[in-house]
Amino acid sequence: MNSSIVLLPGDGIGPEIVEQARLVLLKVAERFGHTFDFSSHQIGGIAIDETGDPLPQPTIDACRNAAAILLGAVGGPKWDDPSAKTRPEAGLLKIRKELGLFANLRPIKLFDELADASPLRADIVKGTDILFFRELTGGIYFGESGTSGSGEEETAFQSMTYSVSEVKRIVRMAAQAARGRSNRLTSVDKANVLEPSRLWRRVAAEVMANEFADVQYDVVLVDSMAMHLINRPSEFDVVVTGNMFGDILTDEASMLPGSLGMLPSASLGDGGPGLYEPIHGSAPDIAGKSVANPLATILAAAMMLRHSLGLTEEAEAIEKAVAGVITDGLRTPDLARGDQSKSVSTEEMGAAVVAKL
């Protein structure tokens, strides 16, 4: 088995949180008798500083040969100059493209003890545990675009395209994941208005009927879905949707748990290595202060074990350990709300997860 894990700590709090995830993975290796080969490579601002390139060739080569990639975050004010030749974020876009990562997975799980951090009432959000699959390399963001005319007649357009194969591969991936969870899949589209959505709905229904008849399946229009996420988020299991709808809905949903510091994500392609990262950014305002919450990155490491290394039991052990430290009352400052006196550091939080394991 390929057990080579590439670490891309990146910028800001990236190195601090990736280190805690690495320590957690080492503990998992010890407990379950695995060996992971870690190697660390440069991406983002630090790579620009040292090589002039946000994604140097050695990083690309290492990622291609890896089983999986764990990324911290890229970017920060130091590289924000809009006139700069290259930006840290370009490194991230390029690696996604190089690896053909067409599916973006975002679990939205609310830890019940943190329900009072949610902007919604606890009785509405309690039990929320959704896994979004957003199509990442097609749809309107990659459609043909252009402008014509001038003055009041100036017109701009952008086309939305989906092919049968693009829909099939992401619906299959999402349906597979549903089988390992509560066995329910919801596909979100706008088939009452958009032609690509009609194709999406037809192809998804075929895939589900022919290959996943055991999975409970329904379809929801994107505008309804935006409402359901606010009034009954706990009723969804796996949700699959296109690029733009997924972009908007996952940002909406990421607010439900009330803390960015707890949310991981994954980007997967066909067979090759997956890329795992927290959804939050490099948080330059708190970098180097040992106050960053490492749990999103630790949960990303759990996703990595599940989706790229096939280590389900090990992934669940990490998730259980994270739930355990939350239940024990451990809080980094972002989770501590009014009571900062009892908050723990990045390293203490990581060590607590390791101890649970």
On whether 86 is known to bind a ligand per the annotation, the reply is yes
On whether 270 is known to bind a ligand per the annotation, the reply is no
The reply to whether 298 sits near ligand ATP by the rule CB under 6 A is no
Structure tokens at 201: 């709905």
Q: Is 144 exposed, middle or buried (0-12, 13-18, 19+ CB in 10 A)?
A: exposed
User: Is residue 112 annotated as a catalytic residue, yes or no?
Assistant: no
Report DSSP state, residue 263: -
Site for ligand ATP in 91-110 (CB under 6 A): none
Q: Name the residue with the smallest CB distance to ligand ATP.
A: 281
Among 72, 233, 273, 281, binds Mg ion (CB under 5 A): 281
Are 282 and 7 within 8 A, CB to CB?
A: no
Q: Comparing C-alpha atoms, which of 307, 346, 300 is closest to residue 325?
A: 346
29 binds, among Mg ion, ligand ATP, none (CB under 5 to 8 A by kind): none
- For tokens 């908007």, the residue is 248
Among 75, 138, 257, 269, binds ligand ATP (CB under 6 A): 75
261 binds, among ligand ATP, Mg ion, none (CB under 5 to 8 A by kind): ligand ATP
| Residue number with CB closer to ligand ATP (238 or 249) | 249
Interior/surface letters 70-104, b for 16+ CB within 10 angstroms, e for the rest: bbbbbbbeebeeeeeeebbebbbebbbeebebbbb
User: Is residue 247 annotated as a catalytic residue, yes or no?
Assistant: yes
What DSSP string describes 91-118? HHHHHHHHTT--EEEEEEE--GGGGGGS
**Shortest distance, position 75 Cβ to Mg ion, whole Å:** 5
CA gap 90, 83 in Å, rounded: 14
On whether 151 is known to bind a ligand per the annotation, the reply is no
Catalytic (active-site) positions: 141, 190, 223, 247, 251
What is the binding site for ligand ATP (CB under 6 A)? 13, 75, 260-261, 280-283, 285-286, 292-293, 296, 334
What is the binding site for Mg ion (CB under 5 A)? 75, 281
